[in-house]
């Protein structure tokens, strides 16, 4: 098995175990993060109804011109997510790191969301 395939499989297994314990509601949604090589995506999800409440990513037209490193972009995406969540009345969320290590871009996104007022 190739090294990247092994890493992806390991992350998916960790994510499965995390999802057994973490679930989002309309009042306390799940903040899900996906990280690709170039982009970062974050969503607030209500698992009871299966709906995405809010989604922010680095490919959106109003956000894709953010300058800086990938960690800087992730921090700004987290800030934008927190700001938009406050606008629709969401103060708290459950953080779902999707099996990624809480380090680098994942940590930057979480810190950006916390800085803008989202609690988890």
97 domain-assigned = yes
Residue 56 in any domain: the answer is yes
pLDDT tens per residue across span 39-72: 999 999 999 999 999 999 999 988 888 889 999 9
77's CB contacts (< 8 A; 6+ apart) are: 40, 42, 56, 57, 58, 63, 66, 109, 112
CATH number at residue 77: 3.30.420.100
Q: How many CB atoms lie within 10 A of CB 53?
A: 18
pLDDT at 3: 82
In a domain, 77, yes or no: yes
**What's the predicted TM-score (pTM) here?**
0.89
Structural domains in the chain (count): 1
- 120 in a structural domain: no
Residue-number span of the structural domain to which 69 is assigned:
3-115
57 touches 73 (CB < 8 A): no
Q: What pLDDT, on the 0 to 100 scale, is given for residue 36?
A: 95
| Nearest alpha-carbon partner for 48 in 94, 102, 99, 103 | 94
């Amino acid at each position: 098995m190739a090294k990247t395939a092994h890493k992806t499989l390991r992350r998916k297994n960790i994510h499965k175990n995390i999802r057994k314990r973490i679930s989002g509601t309309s009042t306390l949604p799940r903040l899900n993060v996906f990280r690709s090589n170039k982009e970062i995506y974050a969503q607030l999800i209500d698992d009871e109804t299966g709906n995405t409440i809010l989604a922010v990513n680095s490919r959106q037209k109003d956000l894709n011109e953010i300058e800086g490193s990938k960690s800087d972009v992730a921090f700004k995406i987290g800030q934008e997510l927190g700001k938009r969540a406050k606008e629709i009345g969401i103060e708290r969320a459950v953080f779902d790191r999707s099996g990624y290590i809480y380090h680098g871009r994942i940590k930057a996104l979480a810190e950006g969301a916390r800085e803008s007022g989202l609690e988890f």
